[in-house]
Homo-oligomer: A and B are copies of this chain.
Amino acid sequence: MYRTHTCGELTLNNVGQEVTLSGWIQTIRNLGGMTFITLRDRYGLTQLVFDDNTTSELKNKTRSLGREFVIKIEGKVVERSSKNPKMPTGEIEIHVEKLDILNQSEIPPFTIENETDGGDELRMKYRYLDLRREPLRKNLELRHRMGQEIRKYLDSVNFMEIETPYLIKSTPEGARDFIVPSRMNPGEFYALPQSPQTFKQLLMISGFDRYFQIVKCFRDEDLRADRQPEFTQIDCEMSFVGQEDVLKTFEGLANHLFYQIKGITFNEPYPRISYDDAMKYYGTDKPDLRFDMKISEISELVKGKGFKVFDSVAYIGAINAKGCGEYSRKQLDELTAFVQKPQVGAKGLVYVKCNPDGTFKSSVDKFYSQEDLKTWAEQLNAKAGDLLLVLAGNKMDTLYALNVLRIEMGERLGLRDKDQFAPCWVIDFPLLEWDEEEQRYFAMHHPFTSPKAEDIKLFDSDPGKMRANAYDFVINGVEIGGGSIRIYEGELQRKMFNALGISKKESEEKFGFLLDAFKYGAPPHGGIAFGFDRWCSVFGGSESIRDFIAFPKNNAGRDVMIDSPSKIDETQLKELSLKIVQK
């Protein structure tokens, strides 16, 4: 037997007991005649002692030990003289009577501590050692817990988990598919799913009513920071529902997770913000509602006063950074440089300080009177001591920059506490997006997303104005999930394809078997998919999903631990009727 207890459970209650523990050596300290070893397993740390009472044979044995050796010990639990209140087992230690070395360890390439000396690449290569560190272990424990609670909740409200296939068919829409050559069908390929979208809609047609799946999805995209070629979705679909039913159901799921995982109760429904309002007040469709600092358009107030920069642009907007009225020249220059970075893209920054004496000091005093500036301050609810930050330009780019600036100011003002959570629904998304390049509409969500009933009449007159039964779930400025009520009637689907410029022939080629299935009694249905990695990272208070994935790929899509992708045997390729083409 390897252990009677784990390394995380012994307390004063166990004093006097003979125990057996197994684990890894975290640290060894020799103090005079005493040797202290911290033994680690998944459950915690326990201090082992070898002292004057230890046999010299056993003491000799400890000399051959090193960090990360796997040992099994037997000994007696004793009360510590100097207790460690930070450690759950800090009131006891084990007087070791027997020691077996189960396995040795080479010196690890970095220290297995909460704060490690290993760089990113090294820790990725030795991911199995990095995973020994408590922060990563806790992340995976959180992920496990969340997975369990998600399933428990969805099961309790009658959702069925149904596995959909991984070897499916390549579709020409959307992102690039990963493809899988078929040996048995030379020249033919499977594709890995970007999402189980079609299959979950088929399951609704099958009558499964309430489906979910926690499932891997795949996208062969040029990777940006914190994107993974394989990622996990909580994929859900319901029949005989409208938008409100879906939102309520999954607000139930989120509330369950908030309570079970974070101990947080929300007594009110989550705020529902229209896409238009989200863009108007936050400059983004994923607003961080942990703090207010809404964007306010001041175009009408500022135009026609001779300031060409403002007069020549379509949009001028501002935020009120409360209590920042005393910002120094240096701080303001920093902010200006910040908004001028290419990834923010503003031309410059106009500020208005609301002085304690009721006067204003701005970078555009030349053009605007104190009275003028007062109207700005009033619109932004600015009080003495506040700071207005103003950006100008074309509307969408400026809103984008204002959003980035707002987040930056929230960060600076400590308004983005990672232990505080502000969930919301963003609703009423536009149905269609105009593509300037291709001069046609695209579906903002996907071609099966239904328009609002009251907007259907706009199909012919003003399709760009149509709103969709589509919704996103956002926590702290991070999009956690999104979905829509689907089109289930043939006539409406044809109108949609029309608006998208998709011909009957094309629609049949692209969506043939799904359209076929719709002919046999499709129920009204809709659903949502959540990014599981992302949700875990937000609950874990981290910006990186990689820390919540056991074996992630790097930004080049490589697994540097197993060195994949890699070359394969020529015979393997031959069996697949494939040849590599040198570029």
**A559 at interface by CB-CB < 8 Å:** yes
By a CB distance below 8 angstroms, the chain B residues around A106 are 519-520
Contacts of A190 in B (CB 8 A): 178, 564-565
In the complex, A505 has a CB within 8 A of chain B: no
Please judge, given known A-B contacts A147-B161, A162-B550, A567-B188, whether A521 and B580 are in contact too, CB under 8 Å.
no
| Shortest 8 CB-CB contacts between residues of A and residues of B | A105-B521, A2-B240, A131-B206, A188-B565, A169-B564, A182-B565, A68-B521, A42-B209
CB neighbours (8 Å) of A241 from chain B are 2
Could you say which of A214-222, A273-281, A375-383, A476-484 contacts chain B? A214-222
Q: Which residues of chain A from 497 to 542 have a CB within 8 Å of any chain B CB?
A: 513, 517, 519-524
A458 CA / B474 CA spacing, docked (Å):
63
* A578 smallest CB distance to B (angstroms): 5
Instruction: Report chain B residues within 8 Å CB of A580.
Output: 186-187, 577-579
Q: Which residue of B lies closest to A24 (CB)?
A: B521
Residues in chain B near residue A147, CB distance under 8 A: 161
Q: Which residues of A67-98 have CB atoms within 8 Å of chain B's CB atoms?
A: 68-70, 72
Q: How many copies does the complex hold?
A: 2
Query: Contact between A522 and B240 (Cβ–Cβ < 8 Å)?
Result: no
Q: Is the CB of A523 within 8 A of B170?
A: no
Contact of A167 (CB < 8 Å), options: B151, B162, B199, B229 = B229
Which of these, B165, B489, B520, contacts A230 with CB under 8 Å?
A: B165
CA distance A187 to B566 in the complex (A): 8
Give the distance to chain B from A335, nearest Cβ to Cβ, in Å: 37
Q: Assess whether A513 is in contact with B167, with CB atoms less than 8 Å apart.
A: no
Q: Is A546's CB within 8 Å of the partner chain B?
A: no
Q: How distant is the Cα of A104 from the Cα of B520 in the complex, in angstroms?
A: 7
CB proximity of A488 to chain B, nearest CB, Å: 6
Provide the bound-state CA to CA distance between A230 and B140, in Å.
26
How distant is A136 from chain B, measured CB to nearest CB, in Å? 9
Stretch of A292-300, A362-370, A568-576 at the chain-chain interface: A568-576
Contact in complex: A550, B180 (CB < 8 Å): no
Residue A441, interface by CB 8 Å: no
Report B-chain residues with C-beta under 8 Å of the C-beta of A141.
160
A489 pairs with B103, CB closer than 8 A: yes
Q: Is A266 an interface residue (CB 8 A)?
A: no
Q: Are B168 and A568 in contact (CB under 8 A)?
A: no
Interface-centre pick from A206, A519, A557 (highest chain B CB count, 10 A): A206
A160-B140, A166-B218, A241-B2 as given contacts; A521 in contact with B565, CB under 8 Å:
no
Nearest residue (CB) in B for A170 is B568
Q: Which of A17-43 contact B (CB under 8 A)?
A: 22-24, 40-43
A415 at the interface (CB under 8 A from B): no
Q: Is B579 a contact partner of A168 (Cβ separation < 8 A)?
A: no
